[in-house]
Every structure is written in structure tokens, then in C-alpha cells.
Chains A and B, each alone.
Chain A
Amino acid sequence: MDFTWTEEEKAFRQRLKDFLAQTLPDDWERFSQHGPASPALTEYAETFCGQLAAEDLLTPHWPKEIGGQGLDPWHQTILAEEMWIAGEPRGGQYMNVNWIGPTLIKYGTKAQQERYLPPIAEGRALWCQGFSEPGSGSDLASLRTRAVLEGDHYRVNGQKIWTSYAGLADTMFLLCRTSEERKGGISILLVPMDTPGITVRQIPSLIGEGDIHEVFFDDMLVPATALFGGEGQAWEIIAYSLVNERLGIPRYSLARAALDRAVSVLKAQGGWTSEAVKIEAAHAASLCEAARTASYAIVTQRAQGLQVGPESSSARFATVMAERRVAEFVVENLPEALVDAHPYLKMHHQRGIVAGIAAGAAEIQLNIIGNDVLKLPREPR
């Protein structure tokens, strides 16, 4: 076991820190409270991601032949950590480089790759994922949005909900039903958001402006060439994607950075004398570091080219525990942060609630651990 970074990895992290320090605007911490899906941050992210791309820092972990640097998953982790600590100036584009791009690379047709990969690599694409439906959240395989092949088009009818970025995205990664088979009847369509028949309605949210939406499809016609993978292949593809997505956001890193910030604020205020406060802070820090090391164990598997196992759900749940504990620490000890006194802490708090809900609810992670790590007898359905 080796818990040290190489000199090259340290230099890569420092390069990212320097880039962020030079590039982000002076009022960034306040600005970032707009939230990753807000119009303001989405617009800024286009500029920022373009600058990252110019420095070869937008998709460094992609293969060289499609515009990446071929760097390993540790570099991807360092990149994700530094961006997330900074308040994710890539906005919704983080999703493109983490899993949309890799999934396109693995499963896309040549035409799909040629159409969709360059805008991602240049930092000017924004995707949304059409997964959850009003009747299908954690039970995603019950989804009912239907796509019927009519000649060379699919006719799509149905509804998605809680869709991040849908208001400003240019393309949707849409899960829809093409046959009655529960999981084997689900297919993926890549759908431009300006396709006639799509209606997007923003849902007021706790987690930032413009973040979640309802999306309606009324007799939307999509060319058959928009089918991604084969008909009925969606479950396999999203299983691959979600492994990337679940590891894609190193939430422990922002949680730990927010905790460090909270301690420094308390010190400045003279509030760092109580042993009770110190014990609570250390409790939160230990959960952050437990989540970090559990995540690094998964990155180790990826770096060795192994298939990531169900232990990734354990790392994910550990991250939820860390996020919550840090958020609780801030509420208890610096409630003024949630007004507007400390924008960085407010930003962390606003986003922290997402940890246990997005990309598969925490309870689903516990189910996966029970089934596939502990090998417990399954719950009857």
C-alpha cells in the first residue's frame, strides 16, 4: 500500500491550484453560490472550460486519440477534487468529462462520437440526464417514457422529473422504454433539447437556482440514428456510466475544505476554545478522511484496469456521512454562514443535501452493499 502522491501528481495538483487562482474572478466565492446549473454559472463555465481546454486540463484523462492526454484515474481524481473544492467552476460540464464523454467513447457510433465529443472537449457542451420520472425514482427500471419506432424515427411520449441542467442543456441522455421487458426494454436516445415536442419547466429548489426541472415529451420525433447502443442495452450502459458518476464528484474534498474553512473562521472569532467544538470538528474530519480513503481504494481498482465493484457504493455512502456531518457542524457552530456571512460555507451547505439523493439514493447504495458486498439474502419483491 502506498498512500503518497508522486512528484508528478503533486505538480499536477499544484498546476490546477495555480490555474484556479489565476483564472477565477475575485468575487468567485460569492458568485459560485449561483449554483452549477444557474444561468450565470453556466455562462461562466463555457468561458472557464474553454480556458481549461486550452491548457489541456478539461479532459486530461481521456484517450489521446480523441483529444485527451491519456492520464490515469488518479489524475482524474485530483482534477475532480480541485474543481469541486473550488466550487465546481465547470458547472454542469463536469458531467460531460466524467461520464458522458467516457460513455460516448465506449458505446457511441462513429457519427455520434464525431458529433458530440468535440464540443465536450472544447468546453461548450451541456448535457442533462433524462433518468428519473414521477413514478420512477429509485425504481428506475419501472420508467414509462415510451419511444416507438415509426420508420426512421422514434416517437417519444412521457415525462422526466428532477432533471438537473435541463433548462440550459443542449442535449439529453434520455432513458426510454422500447419494449415491455423491465430492464431489457429500456433504451437510450441522444436528444437535442431544441427538438420540437420537448417542454421544460423549472422546479424551485433548495440546492441552487436552475438546478432541477420537469421535462415533458409530447409526440417528440427523434431520428433512429439517435439510438445510443442497441435497443434494450440501456441498463448495461448506465451501470457503466453510474460507476463513473458516483465516483465523479469527490464530495469528501469540498466537505473537508469547508470544515477547514469553518475552523479557521471559528479561530478568527475566538470560538476555537471549546473542547466540545473541537471534538465535533474532529468527528467530521474523520468521516471526510474515511470517505476519501475508501474512495481511493476504488480509484486503485480503476487505475489497475479492474472492474469497479460494489464497494464503490460503500465509498459513496461514507461520503454522504461526511457531507452531512460537516454541514451539521457549520449549522451548529456558524449559523450565520447560512445567511450570507461566509459564502463558501453557504455554498457547501446548499449542495450537501444532494449527496444522498443524486446518482442513486443512499438507500440504494445500502441495498447494493447488502446484496453484493455482504452477500445477504435478497429482500423478496
Chain B
Amino acid sequence: MDLSLNSDQIAILDALDSLSKPYAAVSLHETGFVLTDAGLDHALVEGGFLDVAFDPDLGIGTAAIIVERLARLPQATEAAFSAIVRPLLNDGVGTRLCIVEEGKTGRPLRFLAEGATVVVVGDRVTSFTASADHVRPEPEALFGYPVATLLSVPTERQAHDVSPEEFRTRWRIAFAAEAAGLLAAALESVCTYTAERHQFGRPLASFQGMRHRLAEAQVRTNGVYWLAMKAAATLDPSDAAMAAFHAQESARVVVYDFHQFLGGMGMTLEHPLHLWTYRLKLLTGELGGRGANALAAAEALWG
């Protein structure tokens, strides 16, 4: 048992931080609901950051560390599926990846666009490449990801030799790791604002009514991080389902609080908090949401 980063992981995170530094520093004033950057997406692919799990010495554990760190950026970038789930498909699937549950294909899908690989998970795992006819972009959506609606699913799809349960486990790890980074960045953003904003002659964050709720959010964020990292290391179905549940439950608990703490500013697009919290909102419904993931955990733990 050793929960510290190993030297490879430290080196990879250093490289990732160097790469992402210019993107982290962009002006966040009035960004709109979604911020993306094709340059960032390209640089991540070129740098091989989404391929680390193909190296058995690095594995999904290192991929999860990368996903968590990238989620802290204000830009939404598709790393979770590519870095954590894609190695399961193992047959040349590219990095523009969307995943959808069979029977729930009407839900808004993040990063769905023409040319993306759409993986459909039901009794088996299949995929197809989205054409323009499959996709309706949803620029008015209230989410922090670029989302689109899948208009149809072709009957002819590529079958993948992976069990749906193993795939869902990996999916849970992916969004839990992403949620951990989103929670951390949102918390930091709120702490910065409430430490600077003065009311009644004091910083808002010096009032215990706010401090304790922020501290509880830190406890949750820390817990989501460690459960996600553990699940990425063990690939155990119960670990993954607990990480997924705890991520969704924690997002539910903190997202409204965070905007509340910003007061009037929490309702604006001038402050960038939504770039993280409105991504969390989409993740809270992933794979059936809290109830379904808790049931999956109960099933894996106790049968």
C-alpha cells in the first residue's frame, strides 16, 4: 500500500502541467456555457497523454491521474473515455469517443460530433462512426460540455470483444476520475472568490456558516479522488461503482452550494465556476445516476 505518486506519474503530470499551462491561463471572462480548445485536444493526442494506459507499466491508474488533472482545466476536453475506456476496445478506435447506453440514446452526449466513434453498451458492446446524419448539435444546452443528440443508431455496428459489465466498470472509473478533478477545480474557484469578496467588513470565507460547508466539500472531493484512484488501480467492479456513486452524490451535494456561495456572481457567466459545475451536472446522470450506481455497488459487494 503506497498512495503516493510514483516517479513516472510525477514526471507525466509535470509534462501535462507544462502543456496545459497556457490553456489554464486563458481569460475566463464571459466564456459562454462551454469552453473548448482544439489546440489543447490536439496537443494531448500528440503528446501521447491519452495513450498511457496502453503501456502496462503505467496502466489505468496513471490514465486516471491524467484525467483528474485535465478535468481541472476550464476547457472541456475528451480525455476520460479515450484514456481510460478506449484501451478495452483495443482495435484502433480513435480518440474522439462517445459512449451511450442502449435504450437511452436520446440523452445528450458529450463530444458527439461527425466522425466521432460512438460506443453503444447493452447486452454487448458495439460501435459505429457518427456521420452528419446521426448528429444534431445542441448549442443551447445547459451543460458545460459540447453536447449533441444522437438522432439514430445504425443497425450495422462493429462488435467489440469485451463484456458489457467490464465496460461499464471502466466507464464508471472514467467519469469518477473526471468528476474528482471537476470537484477540485470548482472548490478552488469558490474558495478563491469567497476569500476575496468582502461583506460585513470581512471576507465571506471567514464566516463559519460558509467555511464548514466548504470544508465538507473538501472532504467529499478528497474521498471522490481516492475512490476513483483506487478503482483505477484495482479495476474492481465494486470499487468502480462506489467511486461512481460517491462522485455523483458529492456533485449533487456541492454544485448548488458552490453557486450559492458566490451570491449574485454565482448566477452569471462572468464568473467561470459553471465551466466545472455544469460539467458535473451532466455526469450526475451517467450510467443511470446515483441510484443505479449504488445498486451496482450493492450487487458487486454483496450479491
Contact = CB atoms under 8 A, between A and B. Distances in A.
Contacts of A321: 219
Given A282-B245, A282-B301, A299 B214 contact: no
Contacts of B226: 290, 293-294, 296-297
Interface in B199-257: 202-203, 205-208, 211-212, 214-216, 218-219, 222-224, 226-227, 229-230, 233-234, 239, 241-243, 245-246, 249
Interface residues of A, number: 51
B153 interface: no
B294 A293 contact: no
Interface in A22-63: none
Contact of A303 (B2, B214, B215, B218): B2
Interface stretch (A94-102, A131-139, A310-318): A310-318
Contact of B233 (A1, A289, A363): A1
Contacts of A267: 302
Contact of A374 (B6, B65, B214, B246): B214
B206 A289 contact: no
A345 B107 CA distance: 43
Contact of B295 (A282, A318, A379): A282
Contacts of B297: 282, 285-286
Contacts of A285: 242, 297-298, 301
Interface string A276-311: 001101110111011101101101100110000001
B1 interface: yes
Contact of A317 (B202, B219, B234, B246): B219
Contact of A380 (B61, B202, B215): B202
A4 interface: yes
Contacts of A2: 1-3, 233
A367 interface: yes
A365 B219 CA distance: 10
B218 A373 contact: yes
Query: Which residue of A5, A263, A376 has the most chain B CB atoms within 10 A of its CB atom?
Result: A376
B15 interface: no
Contacts of B233: 1-3
B219 A283 contact: no
B223 A300 contact: no
B227 A374 contact: no
A370 interface: yes
A9 interface: yes
Contacts of A369: 215, 218-219
Interface in A1-25: 1-5, 9
Contacts of B215: 317, 365-367, 369-370, 373-374
Interface in B51-83: 61, 65
Interface in A324-381: 363, 365-367, 369-370, 373-380
A275 interface: yes
Interface string B285-297: 0000011001101
Contact of A314 (B206, B211, B222, B299): B222
Given A285-B242, A376-B195, A380-B202, A263 B302 contact: yes
B155 interface: no
Given A3-B230, A380-B206, A317 B216 contact: yes
5 contacts: A282-B297, A294-B223, A297-B3, A366-B216, A376-B195
Contact of A379 (B1, B61, B211, B216): B211
Interface of B: 1-6, 9, 61, 65, 187, 191, 194-195, 202-203, 205-208, 211-212, 214-216, 218-219, 222-224, 226-227, 229-230, 233-234, 239, 241-243, 245-246, 249, 290-291, 294-295, 297-299, 301-302
Given A282-B297, A285-B242, A376-B214, A293 B227 contact: yes
Contacts, number: 162
A74 interface: yes
B20 to A, nearest CB: 21
A304 B187 CA distance: 28
A281 B298 contact: yes
Contact of A1 (B2, B206, B241): B2
Nearest to A317: B219
B205 A366 contact: no
B3 A296 contact: yes
A374 to B, nearest CB: 5
Nearest to A322: B223
B302 A272 contact: yes
A334 to B, nearest CB: 15
B165 to A, nearest CB: 16
Nearest to B190: A374
Contact of A282 (B194, B229, B298): B298
A260 B298 CA distance: 11
B208 A379 contact: yes
A9 B219 contact: no
Contacts of A4: 1
Given A282-B245, A311-B222, A3 B227 contact: no
Given A286-B249, A286-B297, 18 more contacts: A1-B9, A1-B65, A3-B1, A3-B233, A4-B1, A279-B290, A279-B295, A279-B298, A283-B294, A285-B297, A285-B301, A293-B223, A299-B1, A300-B1, A317-B216, A373-B218, A374-B214, A380-B202
Contacts of A275: 291, 295
B295 to A, nearest CB: 6
A209 B206 CA distance: 41
A299 to B, nearest CB: 7
A257 B132 CA distance: 53
A1 B229 contact: yes
Contacts of A380: 202, 206
Contacts of B206: 376-380
Query: Which residue of A1, A299, A300 has the most chain B CB atoms within 10 A of its CB atom?
Result: A1
Contact of B4 (A300, A318, A374): A300
Nearest to B224: A290
B157 to A, nearest CB: 31
Query: Which residue of B65, B222, B243 has the most chain A CB atoms within 10 A of its CB atom?
Result: B222
Given A1-B3, A366-B216, A318 B223 contact: yes
